[in-house]
Amino acid sequence: MGTFGSFMKIGIVTGGGDCPGLNAVIRAVAKAATKRGWETLGVIGGYQGLLAPQKYRLLDYKALSGLLVRGGTILGTANRGPFSAKTGHGETRQLPRELFEDTMRGMEQLGIEALVSVGGDGSLTIAHQMHEFGIPIVGVPKTIDNDLAATTMTFGFDSAVACATDALDRLHTTAESHNRVLVLEVMGRYAGWIAIYAGVAGGADVILIPEIPFRYESICAAVTEREKMGKHFTLVIAAEGAKPEGGNFVTSGAQQQNREARLGGIGAAVAEEIEKRTGKETRVVVLGHLQRGGSPTNMDRALCTLFGAEAVELIADKKFGRMVAHTGVTVDSVPLADAIGHLRTVPLDGAFVQAARALGISLGD
């Protein structure tokens, strides 16, 4: 790798599932780098863009207009292919050394001296493996799931919660008009953050999260209890990773090699069972990729900007192998190794679970 003088050329890569705020991070990194007199190359299509024939674009000031509010990623992203480090239900795969040799060669050909990897558990696991190989890399925590250890908040999460809360608000009025039960299935993989934040913010009556296996009797008791109180409608929010006691995750589509399992379908299962057991007309809405689309919220725009500036600072200080992190108070950094390997799930004794129980919201247990 090149030596560090006052000028540097850095690369930025977005990997894994997209989410609101990726462009805002790209903008912040490129702006902060430009301010230092550096040059930023945006790698196209995830890490694969570093392999020959390399795909990239120059991120000069002109390229950055409008990025703060724009959803998706102008660089494209990938959660499959040779750089896929997660399989099944979150198991980790060590990527071959030759792949990293090719990556290093690609970076050298482009003159990239350090890389910013913007990603979730999968992409940052790859970033950590790259760091161990010797590639100068720093991470920025992205995922709507909010399940990365070592940061109290990932960017994209707040936007996803806003979308799910808006959906609950809309379902509220139609459920009430029709005296129905409405089940909203949201994303989040094996963590219930989106479900519990949106459930509390949107006034759900039942919140089902992977951390608390549910019982159908308990969900139906909540529905009939509300009937007795004269509330003839019920709102249920179910995380895609929620499952009944002793049951398995519900997945959709066949399991593909070297890819993570695709969760989905628990909402329909819950709706069917509620209708069967209570006789209440029940409908299901799967929010799906709506949660990942559109403009980032104010909170995410700010977080992305702080994260991007801190990532450039880490590179300037040659603090490689670290991920920028939100500590709850400020933005700092932690070793990449601390961020991967185990997921940050909703604590059972945490404020959200406690507040939900205090208000009489059913958690299905």
The residues annotated with a catalytic role in the active site are 145
When binding is defined by CB under 6 A, the residue of 11, 17, 45, 199 that contacts ligand F6P is 17
- 48 versus 143: smaller Cβ distance to ligand F6P: 143
* CA proximity to 135, closest of 109, 93, 84, 101: 101
Residue nearest ligand F6P (C-beta atom): 187
Q: Which stretch binds ligand F6P (CB under 6 A): 29-37, 106-114, 167-175, 184-192?
A: 184-192
Stretch that binds ligand F6P, among 25-33, 169-177, 182-190, 311-319 (CB under 6 A): 182-190
| The binder of ligand F6P chosen from 263, 266, 271, 361 (CB under 6 A) | 263
Nearer CB in complex with ligand F6P: 111/253: 253
CA distances from 340 to 85, 147, 207 (A): 12, 10, 27
Q: Which of 226, 292 has the CB closer to ligand F6P?
A: 292
Q: According to CB under 6 A, which one of 75, 78, 116, 144 is a site residue for ligand F6P?
A: 144
Per-residue binding letters, 278-317, with ligand F6P (x by CB under 6 A): --------------x-------------------------
Smallest distance from ligand F6P to CB 135, Å: 24
* CA atoms of 2 and 229, how far apart (whole Å): 70
Residue with tokens 């970033």: 127
Least Å from the CB of residue 259 to ligand F6P: 8
Taking CB under 6 A as the criterion, the residue among 143, 146, 159, 362 binding ligand F6P is: 143
Residue 285 and residue 280: Cα distance in Å, rounded? Answer: 16
Kindly tell me which residue out of 45, 106, 119, 120 binds ligand F6P, with binding defined by CB under 6 A: 120
Which of 43, 74, 125, 145 is in the footprint of ligand F6P by CB under 6 A? 145
Verify binding: residue 258, ligand F6P, rule CB under 6 A.
no
Token pair listed for 340: 């991967």
SS3 66: coil
Out of 97, 178, 231, 262, the residue judged to bind ligand F6P by CB under 6 A? 262
Smallest Cα–Cα separation from 343: which of 197, 202, 147, 181? 147
Dihedral angle over CA of 281, 291, 165, 159, nearest 10:
180
Nearer to ligand F6P, 100 or 193 (CB): 193
Q: Smallest distance, Å, CB 301 to ligand F6P?
A: 20
Interface with ligand F6P: number of residues (CB under 6 A): 13
Strands 206-208 and 114-119: unpaired
Instruction: Return d(Cα 199, Cα 235) in angstroms, integer.
Output: 9
- Total count of residues recorded for the chain: 365
Tell me: does residue 79 bind ligand F6P (CB under 6 A). yes
Phi-psi group of 307: left, alpha or beta (phi > 0 → left; psi -120 to 50 → alpha; rest → beta)? alpha
Select from 244, 232, 243, 239 the least CA-distant residue to 281: 232
**Which residues lie below 8 Å from residue 65, measured CB to CB, with a gap of 6+?**
none
d(CA 185, CA 242): 10
CA distance 198 to 157: 11
267 binds ligand F6P (CB under 6 A): no
Q: Which residues bind ligand F6P (CB under 6 A)?
A: 17, 79, 120, 143-145, 187-189, 240, 262-263, 292
